[in-house]
Amino acid sequence: MKTVKGFCILFMLHLCFLDSGRTGKVLVWPADFSHWINLQVILEELHLRGHEITVLVPSQNLAIDHTKIPYHVEILHISVTKETLIEELNTILYEETFELPKLSWWEMQIKLADLERKFLLINRRVCDSAITNKELLSRLQAAKFDVCIADPLSFCGELVAELLNIPFIFTFRFFCANVIERLCAGLPMPSSYVPGITSRLTDKMTFIQRLENWLLYTVSDMIYSYYVFPEWDEYYSKVLGKPTTLCEIIGKADMWLFRSYWDFEFPQPYLPNTEFVGGLHCKPAKPLPKELEEFVQSSGEDGVMVFTLGSMIKNLSEEKSNMIASALAQIPQKVLWRYTGKKPETLGANTRLYKWIPQNDLLGHPKTRAFITHCGTNGIYEAIYHGVPIVGIPMFGDQHDNVAHMKAKGTAVAVDLQRMTSADLLNALKAVINNPFLNIWKISIYIPLKPSLENFEHYFASV
């Protein structure tokens, strides 16, 4: 008994006077756009806990402003202009949004892989700028980092970590058909009940849908294994000076931080080194600017709708924007539409256009009745967090699958951007407003209110 009591006293003294962990030095290989928004939250929390952070930032990007990053920054100089980068990305985006839906299923799989290959090659310029800069690598080596946080949307973070001989962690949403998750990370995803990303299926599949899901996995594995990955295998082998593969290096990741959450996903097996971090950027709404608040309050009992197609879609064709504006003009709610294109001729008095809106603050406003969205992951989680039902207009990437998840949970309706008419959109808007069964609160209560990085913190104690 005395021995046990003595041990307890010693243990309490340890907690009181000794640091139960240690701070680390973190190297960051970020991805652009919404991926950076989510990663910022993790970095802020790590910084608050005393960890030193260094971010490798490309000289040309669209969302990461290195002048506003409160950590040490290393600029990776690339030889293209911002205008060229925008043009390259817009071309890929246009093809995926407007050309892909016109193709057959088989053609779509090949086209998707080709677009992914082009996107990865654009990012390889950044990789080249890092690994050919011997002075930078020497400086990073001398810094003795404990860990690298990378995003496999942009290959190379894991390669830099390998060159520096440090462990790495991925912050990740998905890869087409979950190829990387299955082939590189070893994540078990039985095609019989786990729908692959880009399948637009749910876990309640018919036999034909299961066959389609199996085909998606099989065809995607073949295309990526024999068409997309080999040039990266050669590239990584040349850099490391020994035969290796992209998957071999990616498979060394110590942890996978998935930008999702268990209640949003369909049931599937996960591995011990996977953690959910979806919704970490969600936060309580702040007061609106005076002008916005006055417009919102003028909606009376009908309330408002928030409409945005994300940061990557700036405008639509005149025909499409007029069709949308016509539908919006027929609802009693006021509408705040983030749109930078030409003002639609059919724009109603109830709708205002903005170049930018405080999306989170509007979604958290008590007068907000619905969220019209492209169904990007970050926007989806803000809607869940604030309990706002969704009208989904998905366009590319994981957006079709995100809205499929929300529809399966009974918290959204969706319309097809390519085929919808003004009447289709109007009916979807009415369905969300008038359907009491679209109760998003039933999943919003499970989203964490603030980041929980305990497992990540424990990781530093083991490296």
Amino acid, res. 267: P
Tell me the three state secondary structure of residue 192. Answer: coil
| Spatial separation of the C-alpha atoms in residues 148 and 166, rounded to whole Å | 7
Q: Where are the beta strands (DSSP E) in 65-197?
A: 72-76, 147-150, 168-172
Structure tokens given for 442: 């039933």
Cα separation, 67 vs 61, whole angstroms:
13
CA nearest to 232, candidates 154, 138, 147, 151: 154
Tally the C-alpha atoms within 13 A of residue 48's C-alpha that lie toward its C-beta.
Answer: 9
Q: What is the pLDDT of residue 418?
A: 86
Question: What is the structure's pLDDT at 17?
Answer: 41
Q: Where in the chain is the domain with CATH 3.40.50.2000?
A: 24-281, 290-444
d(CA 165, CA 184): 19
Structure tokens belonging to residue 113 = 């892989």
Neighbours of 142 (CB within 10 A): 7
Q: Which two tokens stand for residue 187?
A: 């994540």
pLDDT of residue 2: 47
Bridge partners, 368 (sequence order): 304
The amino acid present at 353, given as its one-letter code, is L
Give whole-number Cα distances, 282 to 41, 66, 256, 378, 406, in Å: 9, 23, 20, 8, 18
Rounded CA-CA distance 92/95 in Å is: 5
pLDDT tens across the length of the chain (463 residues): 444 444 333 433 343 444 445 678 999 999 887 888 888 888 998 999 889 999 999 998 887 888 889 999 999 999 889 899 888 988 988 888 888 888 999 999 999 999 999 999 888 999 999 999 999 999 999 999 999 999 988 899 999 999 999 999 999 888 889 999 999 999 999 999 999 999 999 999 999 999 999 999 999 999 999 999 999 999 999 999 999 999 999 999 999 998 888 778 899 999 999 888 888 888 899 999 999 999 999 999 999 999 998 766 666 788 999 999 999 999 999 999 999 888 999 999 999 999 999 999 999 999 999 999 999 888 999 998 898 999 999 988 889 999 999 998 888 899 998 889 999 999 999 988 887 656 555 555 444 444 445 555 554 555 4
What's the pLDDT score for residue 340? 87
Q: Give which of 170, 174, 153 is closest to 161, Cα–Cα.
A: 170
The angle subtended at Cα 367 by Cα 373 and Cα 451, nearest 5°, is: 60
User: Is 459:255 a contact under the CB 8 Å cutoff?
Assistant: yes
| Total-model pTM | 0.85
Amino acid at 346: T
Per CATH, the number for 290-444 is 3.40.50.2000
Q: Which CATH superfamily is domain 24-281 in?
A: Glycogen Phosphorylase B; (3.40.50.2000)
Task: Tell me how far CA of residue 418 lies from CA of 174, 345, 351, in angstroms.
Answer: 24, 20, 22
DSSP string, 231-296: HHHHHHHHHHTS---HHHHHTT-SEEEESS-TTTSPP----TTEEE-TTTT--PPPPPPHHHHHHH
**Positive or negative: CA dihedral 87, 30, 153, 404:** negative
